[in-house]
Structure formats: structure tokens, C-alpha cells
Amino acid sequence: MTSREDVLDSPTNWVAGHIRRYVETDGAEGHEWRPGVFTLLLTTRGRRSGKLRRTALIYGRDGEDYLVVASQGGAPEHPAWYLNLMADPQVEVQVGAERFTARARTATAEEKPRMWATMAAIWPAYDDYQARTDREIPVVVLERA
């Protein structure tokens, strides 16, 4: 049997709380997740359910574009949000109080090394995640629509 504390400390519950606070405060709580590490909220449409799904992700910038990494901590499968945007690349993004529509795409082979370096400088664990999986972890580019 799961205790209340186990549920409250579960990653899913923690992420849900982070997203709730981010939305309720227009990013005043949650945009800067850790010192120097910023998160955005990405909303995709479920590829099977059709329901809107929101997740919080560490982001970086490449010019005007936002970058996120589909790492799932180095799991062997892509995260659900990545599979969703592959099916429907039209997404909603919230960065702090700003909300906008974007088109998501996977970085090209030519772009990825530079973009990966940008993201690994923000969150060095991405290199560890890639080392622990055979899956090529994608960098996703979010371009304003």
C-alpha cells in the first residue's frame, strides 16, 4: 500500500505541483527552477487521447527559438510529450508570464551538436542521460508560430 507521503513525494505529483504553481503565479514560482536553470511549460495534444497535456521542461535559447531536450532521464523510450509533438507539432508554450503558439521540430543532425552543447551547459546531467541509453536523445526546437 502506498502512503500519503509516497504519493506526495512521487515525481508525477511533484511535477504537477510545479506546473500548478507556475500557471497560478504566471511563472513567478517555477520559471527559475534552480539557480540559473529555467523552465518553460510545454502543452502538446495527446496523440491517442486528443487531450491537451502540459509538462515543465528545462529550456535554453538559440536566437529567437527555445530549446528543450527529450531526455526522460536517459530512459530507453522517448517521453510521451515528444511522441505527442511528433504526431502534432503545433504546441503552446509558457515562459514566465508569456504564452505563445509554437511549432516544434527535432534539431537536424547539423544543428544538434551546437544545441546539445547549449543545453548541457545549462544541465550537465544531459550528457549522463545520453551515456546511459542507446536511444539518441533529441533536442527539440520550439519556433514561434
- Residue 38's CB: how many other CB atoms inside 10 A? 18
Half-sphere exposure of 11 (CA within 13 A, CB side): 4
| pLDDT per position as a tens digit, 38-51 | 999 999 999 999 99
What tens digit of pLDDT does each residue of 73-118 get?
A: 999 999 999 999 999 999 999 999 999 999 999 999 999 999 999 9
* pLDDT score of 6 more than 70: no
CATH number for the domain that contains residue 135: 2.30.110.10
Whole-model pTM: value is 0.90
Band (pLDDT 50/70/90 cuts) for residue 64 is: very high
User: How many domains would you assign to the chain?
Assistant: 1
pLDDT of residue 27: 95
1: pLDDT strictly greater than 80: no
State residue 82's pLDDT score: 98
- pLDDT per residue over 11-28, tens digit each? 557 788 999 999 999 999
The band of 30, judged by pLDDT with boundaries at 50, 70 and 90, is: very high
Grid cell listed for 39: 523552465
Q: Is the pLDDT of residue 3 over 50?
A: no
Structural domain boundaries, residue 110? 4-144
